């Protein structure tokens, strides 16, 4: 009792906020206080760790090495035919073993120890409880000590014996008596849940260094407990303990307070150990699933029915909490299907008794946190059970009727109301709440009036009497917290029931305008912006009232405060705007990137289809504050919101458009269209298409030039080609159509196959290099989605749900609208490829219609529909007309291509003539007259004819001729000179590819038949032909095997990778000599 009171006073005096996860486990006063003192002692600074004391080895509790114990002898004693009845000797031997392992059993002895435990349990089942009960408890208590190990890998090697011991312990907890069951469950608890660390003494630290310890990090025993199948028996043990306690005597609430009030119930000890063990197991997903799927899981709700003050109650609440957190869907369905909701409602009612201790108030908050988790994870049927079980009414009573009887606004009371509002917020989530029952409960308790009174939209007198969140005894900071949560809850209520916002539109508008001012806290400003974003699309009266109240000007000031603070892309988290706090301090305030995006989007929603708010935005300087954010480097999400605001609030108003164009707004938008990523492209094109309706905007667009000096039309054509590639339609570099049936959606594979089929080339007569093959379509550099992604043009595609929604939009329709507004006329001359693509773009409407008819035909065929003759004829007529029109467009494109080719040929001929005139002079092309031959030239020609006659003479040459080595040296010298000109080193630059040309040169110089080169290369094992290609048949090599035997023949298949093998200059020279020798020339 003293320990509990001391801890309660310490918790009351603490100034920190309450955290349910940090609450102390008061299972027994003495052990908890001892563990707390040891933990505090360990946290104090300690001197350097000394060596273990000299007498530590003599201590039987300290085991540096495994004690010498003959387990087999003891097992034989208990199993022997003549000794199994010597129970006193059995107990003596077991006590000796326990004393020798007082520090903890070694892991390699665990299997033998488990055998002894099973033998003792067997004797107990035979009626010897009095003899073996105490020794079994001692053995289990020793097994709960940290295990010892001799090798670092023992915890892996002996995992199965540990799992077997856990199963046996769980079985004893389910079937044994109260003392044995308590010892067994406490053993499992000590194995799975590490106890507090020992005191920081030299002896304790030395022992800790040689022990494994029941640590989750080292042995992962908690996971092993789940996989061993010990969890269901432990759940059954809880059911058994509760049933035995109900038969003997009900559990008293004062059992935790100390032994001076009487002996605690005998089943409280095993029940507490089982609940604490399950609480630890429930923190993992696998453990939570094993608990919920147990047959006796319903018994875990019984501890929640215990009276306040029972330590089992707090552990039971935390156990259910852990289950809902670790297995949210399964545990929530179990609680909603069973009697969990009435049980929680009754527990909540008991925790609201006035005059309870601080521990009881903490438990009250924990129960409400558990209800919030259930509301968050419940299915629609579960939410209905939440309402029908009375739990939702209890939470509403806390907020509206002050059922907790709050007297002093402490941290715990503020946390209670905050959790209650969060629970209501989770229940009122749009598209998930049962609207009918919830609305009835809200009207009965007056929830909307309470929220409006808390926010200050209506007087407090109009709220229900006793409204806890609308009282005046809360401090300013506490009231800000309550208002933030109340406004979030009111947002969900207005989304579910828009009539609430319409009914209180003027008051809400004035309230929100105050929250958007510079003097309001940042939390309320963010909540007010979120309220407007969520409710404005559903409530038109609020849109008008908010503009009249001044929300537009307040938002413009908030955006402008950070828009001019620094770079719009960096979005500094503070600005020069300052707000006052409750302590009269001045701190910097501003909008982060997410808040900035929300504020700009809210401006667009306020001005959508409402001319008065559009005028207010222009008068407040909204156009000027948006312009710094219209840049290609702005974050995509924020840029998307800015474009939406410009499209909704600026473009529909002529006055705002004039202000935008005065600041070159159209030029800025085109700059963004050129350099921004894919995400805002569709919105930007729509905005520009509507903007160019104004003549001044059209003039700016026509005068725009990009970074490559391209016009707006050329930019649209570039985006058209990229959009076609993104949507899987392939076109050639010139933009010609590749299909007349589906001109907008022909796949890349189909286009490549068609191109490859049309590019078949005849066999090359000079060597069959192409051999009837096809030029791959990839060599034509088709524009594909992969190329665009690598180039960064599709940045942001596939990045999330929002991006997926934008990817479904065909930007070519918006590009057509913009090109049509620009009259398909470019201020810069178009290239031939752009002319061809523009021809196809002009027919986009007919192409889209053809695609729709083709989709209808494919859908009918896929579903097996038989059309009526009239419908079928109509469908075929539409498809034929669309195909004819596509064929006409394709013919026009081909005519343009032919004309462009003719123009290019004429330009090339004119350029070539100009070059020749510059080279040969102005007399180029004038026919020359034949002149007489001079005597000197006649002599030269005669000598040339004599040389030709000598070369063609049949008479053999008689005289000195070069040797094979001289021919080889001449060829090697010429090859080395060629390598030097190519920038390579002759000493290391020759490869096998140089051998055939060298041999051909030798054959030409020495007058050898060149057809012998291929045969020589084959028999030499090089595997190349005279032209340098791989030989198709195997090369036959002759190898000398020695000892006078015949030469061995080996067939070798040449590989392409050997072409690059290095050949030295000496080897190349020797090959040239061998070729001449083999050819019969010496």
Contact present, 559 and 600 (Cβ < 8 Å) = yes
Residue 730 has pLDDT above 60, yes or no: no
Q: Give a yes or no: residue 223 inside a domain.
A: no
Q: What angle do CA 296, 298, 302 make, to 5 degrees?
A: 115
Say whether both 898 and 805 belong to one domain: yes
Helix axis angle for 159-175 and 178-192, nearest 10°, is 150
For residue 1050, the model assigns a pLDDT of 54
Q: What is the DSSP string of 332-373?
A: HHHHHHTTHHHHHHHHHHHHT-TT--HHHHHHHHHHHHHHHH
For residue 891, the model assigns a pLDDT of 78
Contact present, 18 and 365 (Cβ < 8 Å) = yes
- pLDDT-derived band at 531 (thresholds 50, 70, 90) equals very high
Contact present, 387 and 337 (Cβ < 8 Å) = no
Q: Which residue in 372, 393, 375, 391 sits closest to 383, CA to CA?
A: 375
- Of 215, 239, 273, the one marking the end of a domain is 215
Residue 532 has pLDDT above 90, yes or no: yes
Quick one: how far is CA 892 from the chain centroid?
A: 49
Mean pLDDT of the 1049-1067 span? 66
- Of 472, 496, 520, the one marking the end of a domain is 496
Indicate the SS3 state at residue 1024. Answer: strand
User: What is the spatial distance between Cα 585 and Cα 580, in angstroms, rounded to a whole number?
Assistant: 6
Mean pLDDT of the 251-267 span? 53
Q: List the CATH number of the domain containing 562.
A: 1.25.10.10
Which of 343-347, 611-615, 700-704, 918-922 is predicted least confidently?
918-922
Which of 258-267, 507-516, 892-901, 1011-1020 is predicted least confidently?
258-267
Say whether both 590 and 678 belong to one domain: no
Q: Give a yes or no: residue 1031 inside a domain.
A: yes
Residue 544 has pLDDT above 80, yes or no: yes
Residue 228 has pLDDT above 60, yes or no: yes
Mean pLDDT of the 1059-1069 span? 78
Q: Give a yes or no: residue 362 inside a domain.
A: yes
> Percentage of the chain surpassing pLDDT 70?
73
For residue 925, the model assigns a pLDDT of 66
Contact present, 529 and 595 (Cβ < 8 Å) = yes
Ramachandran quadrant class, 823 (left: phi over 0; alpha: psi -120 to 50; beta: rest): left
Q: What's this model's pTM, rounded to 2 decimal places?
A: 0.67
Say whether both 435 and 536 belong to one domain: no
Residue 527 has pLDDT above 80, yes or no: yes
Say whether both 489 and 594 belong to one domain: no
| CB atoms near residue 605 (< 10 Å) | 21
Q: What is the pLDDT of residues 583-604, one digit of tens each?
A: 333 333 467 778 888 899 999 9
Mean pLDDT of the 1049-1060 span? 57
Say whether both 80 and 180 belong to one domain: yes
Contact present, 488 and 425 (Cβ < 8 Å) = yes
- Of 634, 658, 682, the one marking the end of a domain is 658
For residue 583, the model assigns a pLDDT of 36
For residue 1040, the model assigns a pLDDT of 56
Which of 22-26, 70-74, 209-213 is predicted least confidently?
22-26
Q: Mean pLDDT: which of 86-95, 759-768, 791-800, 1024-1033 is highest?
A: 86-95
Q: Mean pLDDT: which of 72-81, 894-903, 956-965 is highest?
A: 72-81
Looking at the structure of the chain, the number of domains it has is 6
Say whether both 678 and 820 belong to one domain: yes
Say whether both 513 and 461 belong to one domain: no
Q: Which residue in 639, 638, 641 sits closest to 671, CA to CA?
A: 639
Say whether both 200 and 241 belong to one domain: no
Say whether both 637 and 683 belong to one domain: no
Q: Give a yes or no: residue 1009 inside a domain.
A: yes
- The boundaries of the domain holding residue 71 are 67-215
Residue 31 has pLDDT above 50, yes or no: no
> Percentage of the chain surpassing pLDDT 90?
12
Residue 145 has pLDDT above 70, yes or no: yes
Pairwise pLDDT comparison (44 vs 531), residue with the higher score: 531
Say whether both 531 and 654 belong to one domain: yes
- pLDDT-derived band at 1033 (thresholds 50, 70, 90) equals low
User: What is the spatial distance between Cα 644 and Cα 915, in angstroms, rounded to a whole number?
Assistant: 57
Residue 257 has pLDDT above 50, yes or no: no
Q: Which residue in 413, 486, 414 sits closest to 449, CA to CA?
A: 486
Which of 160-174, 464-478, 859-873, 1035-1049 is predicted least confidently?
1035-1049
Distances (CA, A) of 316 to 66, 506, 517: 41, 49, 47
Computed over every residue of the chain, the mean pLDDT equals 76
Q: Which residue in 38, 36, 35 sits closest to 46, CA to CA?
A: 38
Say whether both 1030 and 889 belong to one domain: no
Say whether both 1001 and 1026 belong to one domain: yes
- Token look-up 């196959």 returns 753
For residue 929, the model assigns a pLDDT of 64
Q: Give a yes or no: residue 46 inside a domain.
A: no
Mean pLDDT of the 167-175 span? 89
Q: Give a yes or no: residue 929 inside a domain.
A: no
Residue 279 has pLDDT above 50, yes or no: yes
Q: Give a yes or no: residue 931 inside a domain.
A: no
H helices within 710-843, ranges in order? 712-726, 748-758, 785-790, 801-807, 811-821, 832-842
For residue 574, the model assigns a pLDDT of 33
Burial class of residue 355 in the structure, from the number of CB atoms within 10 Å of its CB (0-12 exposed, 13-18 middle, 19+ buried): exposed
Q: Give a yes or no: residue 32 inside a domain.
A: no
Distances (CA, A) of 385 to 327, 333, 334, 342: 19, 10, 11, 9
Indicate the SS3 state at residue 310. Answer: coil
Q: What angle do CA 295, 299, 305 make, to 5 degrees?
A: 165
- Token look-up 């053995």 returns 139
Mean pLDDT of the 700-718 span? 88
- pLDDT-derived band at 923 (thresholds 50, 70, 90) equals low
Q: What is the pLDDT of residues 935-965, one digit of tens each?
A: 656 766 776 677 667 666 666 656 677 788 8
Q: Which residue in 891, 860, 890 sits closest to 875, CA to CA?
A: 860
Mean pLDDT of the 1013-1028 span? 76
Mean pLDDT of the 127-146 span? 85
Q: Mean pLDDT: which of 486-495, 819-828, 976-985 is highest?
A: 486-495
For residue 261, the model assigns a pLDDT of 43
């Amino acid at each position: 009792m003293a320990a509990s009171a001391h801890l309660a006073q310490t918790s009351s005096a603490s100034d920190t906020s309450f955290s349910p996860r940090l609450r102390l486990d008061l299972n027994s006063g003495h052990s908890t206080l001892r563990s707390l003192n040891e933990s505090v002692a360990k946290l104090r600074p300690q001197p350097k760790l000394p060596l273990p004391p000299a007498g530590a080895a003599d201590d039987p509790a300290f085991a540096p090495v495994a004690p010498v114990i003959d387990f087999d002898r003891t097992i034989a004693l208990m199993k022997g035919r003549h000794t199994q009845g010597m129970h006193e000797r059995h107990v003596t031997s077991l006590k000796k073993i326990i004393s020798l392992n007082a520090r903890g059993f070694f892991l390699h002895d665990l299997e033998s120890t488990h055998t002894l435990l099973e033998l003792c349990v067997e004797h107990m089942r035979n009626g010897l409880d009095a003899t073996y009960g105490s020794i079994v408890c001692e053995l289990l208590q020793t097994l709960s000590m940290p295990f010892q190990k001799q090798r670092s890998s023992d915890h892996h090697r002996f995992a199965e014996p540990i799992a077997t011991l856990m199963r046996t312990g769980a079985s004893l907890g389910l079937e044994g008596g109260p003392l044995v069951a308590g010892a067994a469950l406490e053993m499992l608890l000590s194995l799975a849940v590490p106890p507090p660390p020992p005191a920081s003494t030299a002896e304790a630290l030395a022992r800790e260094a040689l022990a494994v310890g029941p640590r989750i990090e080292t042995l992962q025993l908690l996971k092993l407990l789940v996989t061993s199948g010990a969890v269901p028996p432990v759940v059954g043990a809880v059911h058994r303990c509760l049933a035995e306690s109900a038969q003997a005597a009900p559990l008293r609430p004062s059992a935790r307070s100390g032994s001076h009030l009487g002996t605690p119930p005998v089943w409280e000890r095993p029940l507490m150990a089982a609940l604490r063990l399950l609480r630890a197991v429930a923190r993992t997903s696998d453990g939570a699933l094993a608990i919920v799927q147990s047959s006796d899981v319903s018994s875990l709700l019984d501890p929640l029915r215990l009276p306040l003050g029972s330590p089992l109650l707090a552990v039971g609440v935390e156990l259910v909490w852990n289950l809902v957190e670790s297995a949210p869907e399964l545990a929530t369905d179990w609680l909603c299907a069973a009697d969990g909701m009435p049980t929680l409602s009754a527990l909540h009612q008991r925790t609201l008794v006035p005059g309870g201790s601080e521990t009881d108030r903490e438990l009250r908050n924990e129960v409400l946190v558990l209800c919030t988790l259930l509301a968050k994870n419940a299915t629609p049927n579960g939410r209905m059970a939440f309402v029908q079980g009375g739990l939702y009414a209890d939470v509403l009573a806390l907020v509206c009727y002050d059922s907790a009887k709050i007297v002093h606004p402490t941290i715990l009371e503020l946390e209670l109301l905050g959790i209650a509002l969060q629970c209501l917020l989770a229940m009122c989530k749009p598209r998930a709440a049962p609207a009918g029952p919830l609305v009835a409960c809200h009207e009965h308790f007056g929830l909307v009036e309470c929220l409006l009174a808390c926010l200050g939209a209506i007087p407090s007198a109009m709220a229900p009497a006793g409204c806890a969140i609308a009282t005046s005894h809360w401090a300013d900071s506490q009231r800000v917290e309550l208002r933030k949560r109340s406004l979030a809850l009111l947002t969900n209520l207005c989304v579910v029931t828009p009539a609430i916002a319409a009914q209180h539109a003027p008051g809400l508008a004035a309230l929100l305008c105050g929250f958007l001012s510079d003097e309001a806290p940042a939390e309320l400003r963010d909540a007010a912006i979120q309220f407007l974003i969520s409710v404005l699309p559903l409530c038109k009266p609020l849109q008008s009232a908010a503009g009249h109240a001044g929300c537009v000007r307040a938002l413009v000031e908030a955006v402008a405060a950070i828009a001019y603070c620094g770079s719009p892309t960096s979005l500094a988290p503070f600005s020069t705007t300052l707000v006052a706090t409750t302590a009269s301090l001045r701190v910097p305030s501003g909008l982060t990137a997410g808040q900035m995006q929300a504020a700009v989007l809210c401006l667009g929603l306020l001005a959508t289809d409402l001319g008065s708010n559009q005028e207010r935005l222009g008068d407040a300087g909204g156009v000027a504050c948006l312009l710094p954010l219209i840049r290609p480097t702005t974050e995509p999400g924020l840029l998307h919101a800015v474009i939406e605001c410009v499209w909704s609030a600026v473009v529909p108003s002529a006055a705002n458009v004039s202000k935008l164009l005065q600041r070159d707004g159209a030029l800025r938008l085109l700059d963004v269209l050129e350099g921004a990523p894919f995400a805002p492209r569709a919105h930007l094109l729509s905005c520009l298409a509507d903007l160019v309706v104004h003549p001044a905007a059209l003039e700016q667009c026509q005068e725009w030039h990009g970074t490559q000096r391209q016009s707006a039309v050329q930019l649209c054509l570039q985006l058209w080609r990229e959009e076609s590639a993104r949507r899987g339609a392939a076109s050639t570099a010139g933009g010609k159509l590749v299909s007349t049936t589906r001109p907008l959606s022909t796949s890349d594979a189909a286009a490549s196959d068609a191109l490859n089929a049309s590019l078949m080339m005849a066999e090359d007569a000079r060597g069959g290099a192409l051999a009837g093959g096809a030029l791959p379509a990839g060599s034509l550099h088709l524009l594909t989605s992969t190329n665009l992604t690598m180039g960064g043009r599709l940045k942001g595609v596939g990045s999330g749900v929002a991006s997926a929604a934008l990817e479904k939009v065909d930007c070519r329709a918006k590009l057509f609208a913009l090109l049509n507004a620009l009259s398909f006329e470019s201020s810069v001359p178009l290239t031939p490829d752009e002319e061809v693509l523009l021809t196809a773009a002009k027919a986009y409407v007919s192409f889209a219609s053809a695609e729709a008819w083709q989709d209808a035909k494919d859908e009918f065929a896929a579903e097996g529909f038989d059309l009526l003759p009239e419908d079928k004829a109509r469908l075929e007529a539409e498809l034929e007309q669309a195909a004819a029109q596509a064929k006409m467009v394709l013919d026009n494109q081909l005519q343009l291509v032919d004309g462009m080719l003719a123009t290019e040929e004429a330009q090339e001929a004119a350029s070539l003539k100009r070059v020749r005139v510059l080279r040969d002079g102005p007399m180029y092309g004038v026919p020359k007259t034949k002149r007489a031959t001079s005597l000197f030239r006649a002599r030269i020609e005669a000598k040339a004819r004599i040389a030709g006659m000598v070369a063609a003479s049949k008479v053999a040459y008689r005289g000195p001729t070069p040797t094979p080595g001289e021919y080889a040296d001449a060829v090697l010298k010429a090859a080395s000179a060629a390598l030097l000109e190519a920038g390579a080193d002759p000493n290391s630059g020759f490869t096998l590819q140089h051998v055939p040309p060298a041999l051909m040169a030798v054959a030409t110089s020495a007058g050898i038949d060149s057809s012998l080169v291929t045969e020589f290369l084959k028999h030499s094992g090089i595997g190349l032909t005279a032209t340098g290609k791989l030989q198709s048949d195997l090369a036959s090599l002759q190898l000398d095997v020695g000892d006078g035997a015949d030469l061995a023949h080996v067939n070798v298949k040449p590989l392409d990778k050997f072409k690059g093998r290095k050949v030295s200059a000496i080897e190349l020279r020797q090959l040239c000599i061998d070729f001449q020798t083999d050819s019969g020339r010496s």
